[in-house]
Structure 1
């Protein structure tokens, strides 16, 4: 998901460079939404790992 956010971000930069404002704004919005979805999924998986993860063996 982070990969797709980066692709839409690069697409927005290229579209903005060539003067396509509408496409640049849409691509930037999609990239931002995908990035925030990635952050939410990452935090949920981090919390799930902390709750149910294995502890290192004690020696």
Structure 2
């Protein structure tokens, strides 16, 4: 479950939420969701590299 790509899927969903919130003018929600999406992408990349090494 850890290497199933859930982090990437969550990052994509949060990115979409950030885009919609930005269009609607909700800058606080957009910023928070983009920050969480960025962290999820970094976690996904780290886990993908670990999976390739193992």
Alignment: residue pair count:
48
Q: Please, which runs of 5 or more residues in structure 2 have no aligned partner?
A: 1-6
2:23 matched to 1:8?
no
Larger radius of gyration: 1
Moved >6 Å (runs of 4+): none
CA RMSD of aligned residues (A): 0.3
Query: Which residues of structure 1 form unaligned runs of 5+?
Result: 49-59
TM-score when scaled to structure 1? 0.80
Q: Deviations over 1:20-53 (max 9, x none)?
A: 00000000000000000000000000011xxxxx
Task: Return the structure number with greater relative CO, CA threshold 8 A, min gap 6.
Answer: 2
